[in-house]
Amino acid sequence: MIDKLEYTNKHELIYLDQTLLPLKQKYHKTKSYKDAAEAIRKLQIRGAPLIGIAAAYAVVMGVHHYDTDNRKNFEIHFYKITETLRNSRPTAKNLFYALDRMIKVFEENIKKDFIEIEDLLLREADAIYDEDAEMCKRIGVNGAVLLGEKSTVLTHCNAGELATGGIGTALGIIYTAQKQGKDIFVYADETRPLLQGSRLTAFELNENGIDFDIITDSMAANLMKEQVIDCVIVGADRIASNGDVVNKVGSYSLAVNAAYHKIPFYVAAPGSTIDFDILTGEEINIEERSPDEITRVNGEKITSDKYGVMNPAFDLVPNELVTAIVTEYKVHYPPYNFGGIKQMFQSYVQVQRSESETE
Ligand code: MRU
């Protein structure tokens, strides 16, 4: 497994800088929750589940390195930490899922000693990390049945080890199928503008001994026409209750092309990516990032700053284009309702709201 994130007993967060891969494998170390939020914003730490895990540890770190005897100040500081992290990236549900779990632990134990609260928060962050690794394993097993003995899979962005606490979601399915003896070949979309496909997916497929080719995003439709793709598998940043999926920009285009060529379009994600508070994907806040990510390559300007640029990080795949969604529970087919999972993943904030509504 690639070492991507570690929380040490000195209350430091060590993380692999994903903006430099694959050419440099550089680790940063910090004791500051603000640095962790900035690392998430800059995509040094990225991928929906990993963002959530990092944020959970950043909460513990922020609490540990704050010195006070005053309970009111302690509380104010706690919410300052969670707000800072909440504002680091707006789309991935897992960030909010993890922060809500940390807030719940804090609020349920608010009367205890500070040391004890910190300890409980650390246990919760560890649990979020471990549970995510376990969810990935189960997604891998559930999804591997969708792949034939010899399969060619197209994937987009990076939904693998680097993006999660475990083996990944979309790539976890590929690793599991390969371990089961299936012969898998992957086309990895380079994923403009930040090249998570040609940098990160390629890096980890290579580390895991999977055969692959990197392709430009615009080659995908033609490969589908030539009938070399058996299925598309991508991850997700947020899934609405109706199965609408928001994932890395370019996912919609792939889904439309897959539907046209009658190729299954699968989404792999843990329950913690499903947002039961929203009915459709239209309600999801799509992050708009800096134009520099498009006007520059490796910091070098490639076009004029005077030109207008749009840079949404994600796009919405409507549920009718999604053949199936693989979670740690099962393979879900349309119409999506995720019955049974809802109780487990409904957000703390929502639960609070409905409880007070019924009072
Ligand atoms: O902007 P990124 O690199 O964080 O985007 C990541 C994705 O879009 C992934 O597909 C998604 O987070 C799922 S990761 C298991």
Is the shortest distance between the CB of 236 and ligand 1 below 6 Å?
yes
Nearest to 313 by CA among 335, 341, 285: 285
d(CA 243, CA 6) in angstroms, rounded, equals 33
Cβ within 8 Å of residue 195, ≥6 positions away: none
Give pLDDT tens digits for 143-167: 999 999 999 999 999 999 999 999 9
Is the shortest distance between the CB of 103 and ligand 1 below 6 Å?
no
**Which of the four pLDDT bands, split at 50, 70 and 90, describes residue 74?**
very high
Report, as an integer, the average pLDDT of 53-76. Answer: 97
User: Ligand 1 atom closest to Cα of 51?
Assistant: 4
Res 26 pLDDT > 80: yes
Residue 271 near residue 348, CB atoms below 8 Å: no
Higher per-residue confidence, 40 vs 1? 40
Give pLDDT tens digits for 308-342: 999 999 999 999 999 999 999 999 999 999 987 88
**Which of the four pLDDT bands, split at 50, 70 and 90, describes residue 8?**
very high
The rounded mean pLDDT for the chain is 95
- CA-closest residue to ligand 1 atom 2: 47
Verify whether residue 237 is a known catalytic residue.
Answer: yes
Report, as an integer, the average pLDDT of 74-103. Answer: 98
Burial classification of residue 280, based on how many CB atoms lie within 10 Å of its CB (0-12 exposed, 13-18 middle, 19 or more buried): middle
Map out the domains of the chain with their CATH numbers.
Answer: 5-137+347-358 (1.20.120.420), 145-340 (3.40.50.10470)
**Which of the four pLDDT bands, split at 50, 70 and 90, describes residue 359?**
very low
The 3-state secondary structure of 49-94 reads HHHHHHHHHHHHHHHHCCCCCCHHHHHHHHHHHHHHHHCCCCCCHH
Give pLDDT tens digits for 171-207: 999 999 999 999 999 999 999 999 999 999 999 999 9
pTM of the predicted model as reported, rounded to 2 decimal places: 0.95
How many CB atoms lie under 10 A from the CB of residue 242? 16
Range name among 111-120, 305-314, 336-345 with the lowest pLDDT average? 336-345
Nearest to 55 by CA among 96, 14, 2: 96
Is the shortest distance between the CB of 235 and ligand 1 below 6 Å?
yes
Compute the distance from residue 158 Cα to the ligand 1 centre, in Å. Answer: 6
- CA-closest residue to ligand 1 atom 6: 47
Cβ within 8 Å of residue 341, ≥6 positions away: 271, 274, 327, 329
Q: What is the pLDDT of residue 346?
A: 72
Q: What is the pLDDT of residue 128?
A: 98
Q: Which H helix or E strand runs over 340? A: none
Q: What is the pLDDT of residue 347?
A: 62
Compute the distance from residue 229 Cα to the ligand 1 centre, in Å. Answer: 22
The DSSP symbol for 235 reads -
Of 132, 237, 275, 315, the catalytic one is 237
Compute the distance from residue 51 Cα to the ligand 1 centre, in Å. Answer: 9
User: Ligand 1 atom closest to Cα of 247?
Assistant: 8
**Which of the four pLDDT bands, split at 50, 70 and 90, describes residue 356?**
very low
- CA-closest residue to ligand 1 atom 8: 248
d(CA 214, CA 167) in angstroms, rounded, equals 20
- Substitution site in 40, 203, 248, 316 for ligand 1 pocket (most atoms within 8 Å of beta carbon): 248
Q: What is the pLDDT of residue 200?
A: 98
Res 211 pLDDT > 50: yes
- Substitution site in 45, 135, 196, 326 for ligand 1 pocket (most atoms within 8 Å of beta carbon): 196
Report, as an integer, the average pLDDT of 118-142. Answer: 98
Report, as an integer, the average pLDDT of 23-36. Answer: 98
Report, as an integer, the average pLDDT of 341-354. Answer: 64
**Which of the four pLDDT bands, split at 50, 70 and 90, describes residue 348?**
low
Q: What is the pLDDT of residue 132?
A: 98
Is the shortest distance between the CB of 162 and ligand 1 below 6 Å?
no
Is the shortest distance between the CB of 169 and ligand 1 below 6 Å?
yes
Provide the sign of the torsion angle of the four alpha carbons 58, 285, 248, 332, taken in this order: positive
Is the shortest distance between the CB of 315 and ligand 1 below 6 Å?
no
Q: What is the pLDDT of residue 195?
A: 97
Is the shortest distance between the CB of 200 and ligand 1 below 6 Å?
no
Is the shortest distance between the CB of 248 and ligand 1 below 6 Å?
yes
**Which of the four pLDDT bands, split at 50, 70 and 90, describes residue 349?**
low
Is the shortest distance between the CB of 53 and ligand 1 below 6 Å?
no
